[in-house]
Amino acid sequence: MSVLIPAALASILAVWYVYREEQRGQERGLREATRTFSLLVANNLQTQEGILKTLANSTVLEQGDLQGFYAFAKKNAPTSETAIILIDKNNKYLFNTRVPFGTELPATRSSNLPEIKAQHRGEQTLISDVFRARQGGTFDFALQVPVWIAGDIKYYLVMSINASEMQSLLVQAGFPKEWLGVIVDRNGVIVSRTRNPEQFVGRRATDSIVRQLNDQPEGMFHSVTLDGQAVKTFFHRVPHAQWTVVLSIPESELRQTPLRVAAFLAAVMALLLGFALIAARIISARVMKPMEKLSESADRLGRGEEVPYDTQGLVEVDAVGERMAEASRKIRDHQLELERQVAQAIASTARAERALLQAQKLEAVGRLTGGIAHEFNNLLQTLATALQLAKIVSNQERVHSLIETCNKAIERATSLTSKLSSFGRIQDAKLETRNLTTHIATAEQLLRTTLPSHVQLQIDICEELWPAKVDPTQFELALINLVINAKDAMPAGGMIRIHAENETLCPPSPELQPGDYVHIQVIDTGSGMSPEVMEKALDPFFTTKRIGEGTGLGLPQAYGFARQSQGVLLLQSSEGKGTTVSIYLPRSTSTVVEDRESAREVSTPAARGRLLFVEDDTLVTDAVVPALEQAGFTVLTAADADQALAVLESGVTVDALFSDIVMPGSTNGRALAEAVRAKYPNIKVVLATGYSEERIALPGVKILAKPYEVAQLVEALAGAVSYQP
């Protein structure tokens, strides 16, 4: 008994410890689930905010065309139930897309956005609490963003959203049916609920629960639901919204799993103690030594260690010892399984957070590159054209020298803009049929100066390499990125080999159609990649380098270049055996473009005909129109495609049309070109673009990349029938 009583106490302690640890593990998992769901709600609200901000940047609204903006906002509302509301600075309703434009609207607002705006000055995105909408009588909530025009807030744009749309987030979360998931606003009013939402949405939680939710941004407390069920409640504040996500679990369910584990362990302990007591009473005199061994095993089991047991020669004692050993293995297996499940849950949460962060990064990169490419190229176009015109009208050698310096700066800025917009962006206007041997040689000069002495570079190029249609800058940048990646994979040194050859594929591979390709390989003898790394190697922002040493955009840039050029990029790698990156570029049958000089002279003025110039940027118009007139054109201008079509339909005769592709309004440059070629086949069409998200391929239509030279434009417009006034 002196041995068994302490063993029994140790068993009780072990049961209590397992019970407590199981409960704590459950609480940690539920807190994490609540936090993850709050991020899902925040992401949904940010998506709605992004839609509002996009609408707020509409040029139609900036021009003051409220009826036009009403149609635009109604067309782009996320759902038919979503209301887009425009309000002036004095909180006066201008329109509501749920009612026809011009309908008289109430003087007061249903939501509490005015009170919230008074607290935050209205210069940021605001989210209201739940309210009952006047139109439809549904429970809604509203998002409000300021509309900045000329550096000042002129309007407020509001999106009124039916609270039922948040119900889909609860469905996506996949909570067990016994759990109760609730989203409440800052006043404790229910926005969405997993059970009986039609009965409880719009009702306010009890005062005690509201106080608990407002005391701190996250936590746990015991409560009773509105339908009378005792629960343990976990909550987390939704970032930037002052709403709260609440997850309530029945107390009985929370106790069930720990009790099962503790009961199982207690049963095992009781069974072992029972066998030990019986054996002690019957053979205590003969089995003292085996019992001591058994006591040691019991102590091991009490400490949670695996119990090795050697046969002692007594059937009863051996049976107990073997049972203890088996129980210890099961307990150990359960512990390992529990640790594995916890690790999986943590990894799953980390992946979800990384995916959310990656989506935000990609959205930010898309906005940044698109905006910079379009706006910056328009500025470069203005500067380039003005400098070319200045060179024509000035005879001073010093002025010409300064103009050449400015042109070189514009070339560098153009190269920078091209690099910014390389990943995943369509740049058809920059694709040219090029001799790749020349560009590989150009990149080689740079690479040999940047590679360390312990890394050797070998270039192996076919003598008659076929031409391919590429963006020259992006081609050289892709080679540089691939070689730098290879160098980083060989810290102890090695060999990098660039091999280029012509290859005809027949039959095709799974990734490529049959045909002629230029096959370029970058091969290294570095550390290689594991299958797990291979799966993510082409993902933007994925890198195996330490923080600060890599952006994760090297391989994605090369991949984006290959796709932009109608080719593919393939990876082959294994750990310890190096990596091979293969780029297949389709053979081009077009005439090879030679490198142009940095500046061209504009042709001597001559009667070239009447030209309709379509451009929404007044700076570009002010620079290009004088240059075209200097080149001998009679120039008519239009600010957008609709205005250009109106000019043509008025009966004005023109010989050529020159238009930007990206323009405000419902019709872009490509649609304008198609309409003009269909209705006015004698008019020559030339398009220009600094950035576009769609491929432009129209027969007989020349495409120029901004910033273009006036000489390029005059050459593209050559052949138009001269107009005799």
CA-to-CA dists, residue 281 to 1, 287, 413, 551, angstroms: 10, 10, 94, 73
Domain end point (choices 527, 552, 586): 586
- Joined together, the tokens standing for residue 422 give 């390389």
Calculate mean pLDDT across residues 654-668. 84
Mean pLDDT calculated for residue range 605-613: 73
Choose one of 107, 137, 165: the last residue of a domain. Answer: 165
What is the pLDDT at residue 516?
93
Same domain for 131 and 116, yes or no, is yes
Of 303-312, 565-574, 601-610, 621-630, the least confident: 601-610
CATH code, domain with 149: 3.30.450.20
Same-domain pairing of 513 and 626: no
Q: Are 479 and 453 in the same domain?
A: yes
Alpha-carbon separation of residue 26 from 20, 36, 98, 250, 335 (angstroms): 10, 15, 46, 13, 15
Q: What is the pLDDT of residue 609?
A: 83
In a domain, 648, yes or no: yes
Q: What is the mean pLDDT of residues 441-448?
A: 82
Q: How confident is the model at residue 425 (pLDDT cuts 50, 70, 90)?
A: very low
Is 344 a member of any domain?
A: no
> Rounded to an integer, what distance in angstroms lies between the CA atom of residue 384 and that of residue 601?
13
Residues 535 and 650 both lie in one domain = no
Q: Is the peptide bond before 507 cis (omega within 30 degrees of 0)?
A: yes
Asked if residue 526 and residue 494 are part of one domain, the reply reads yes
Measured between alpha carbons, how far is 265 from 282 in angstroms, rounded to an integer? 26
Taking residues 283-302, what's their average pLDDT?
70
Instruction: Verify that 443 and 577 share a domain, yes or no.
Output: yes
Whole-number Å distance between alpha carbons of 324 and 316: 13
Q: Which amino acid is at 347?
A: A
Alpha helices in 451-471 (DSSP H): none
CATH number at residue 614: 3.40.50.2300
In a domain, 346, yes or no: no
- One domain, residues 186 and 55: no
Same domain membership, residue 147 and residue 91? yes
What pLDDT does residue 467 have? 93
Residue 721 has pLDDT above 60, yes or no: no
All residues at 6 or more sequence positions from 716 whose CB lies less than 8 Å from its CB, including other chains: 686, 702, 704
Show which of 229, 254, 279 is a domain's final residue. Answer: 254
Cα separation of 243 and 40, whole Å? 13
Helix axes 251-283, 315-393, angle to 10 degrees: 150
Same-domain status, 550 and 670: no
> Is 580 inside any structural domain?
yes
Q: Provide the pairing of β-strand 494-505 with 468-470.
A: unpaired
CATH number, domain of 550, equals 3.30.565.10
Q: What average pLDDT is seen over the chain?
A: 79
DSSP 511-524: S--SEEEEEEEEEE
The lowest-confidence range among 95-109, 295-309, 669-683 is 295-309
Tokens of 159: 């999106």
Q: Whole-angstrom Cα distance, residue 56 to residue 226?
A: 40
Looking at residue 553, what is its pLDDT?
Answer: 65
User: Tens digits of per-residue pLDDT, 543-555?
Assistant: 766 655 555 667 8
pLDDT at position 521 is: 94
- Section 155-176 average pLDDT: 85
User: What is the rounded average pLDDT of the residues 522-546?
Assistant: 79
Structure tokens at 610: 């009447």
Residue 461 and residue 567 share a domain: yes
Least confident of 570-584, 587-601, 671-685, 699-713: 587-601
Q: Are residues 444 and 568 in the same domain?
A: yes
Q: Report yes or no on 110 lying in a domain.
A: yes
The total number of structural domains that make up the chain:
4
Residue 162 has pLDDT above 50, yes or no: yes
Q: pLDDT at position 500, please?
A: 94
Residues 54 and 107 in one domain: yes
Q: Tell me the pLDDT band of 630, cut-offs 50, 70 and 90.
A: confident
566 or 404, which is more confident? 566
| 3-state SS class at 611 | strand
pLDDT band at 426 (very low <50, low <70, confident <90, very high): very low
Q: Which residue has the higher pLDDT, 33 or 6?
A: 33
Nearest alpha-carbon partner for 624 in 609, 610, 639, 613: 613
| DSSP, residue by residue, 673-708 | HHHHHHH-TTSEEEEEES-BSS----TT-EEEESSP
What is the rounded CA–CA span in Å between residue 613 and residue 624? 9
Q: Is residue 413 over pLDDT 80? A: no
User: Exposed (0-12), middle (13-18) or buried (19+): which is 705, by Cβ within 10 Å?
Assistant: buried
**Structure confidence at residue 725 as a pLDDT band (50, 70, 90):** very low
Among all chains, which residue has been given the structure tokens 């930037």? 240
Per-residue pLDDT, 415: 56
The 10s digit of each residue's pLDDT in 214-258 is: 888 899 888 888 778 888 899 999 988 889 999 888 887 767 766
Residue 411, pLDDT score: 64
Residue 131 domain-assigned (yes or no)? yes
* Percent of the chain clearing pLDDT 70 (strictly above): 77
Q: Range with the lowest mean pLDDT among 26-30, 391-395, 674-678?
A: 391-395
For residue 446, being part of any structural domain is answered with yes
Q: Which residues is 635 bridged to in the sheet?
A: 611
Confidence check: pLDDT of 698 > 80: no
Residue 559 is predicted with a pLDDT of 82
Average pLDDT estimate for 102-118: 81
Residue 203 in any domain: the answer is yes
Domain holding 199, by residue range, is 21-26+166-254
pLDDT at residue 602, as a whole number: 44
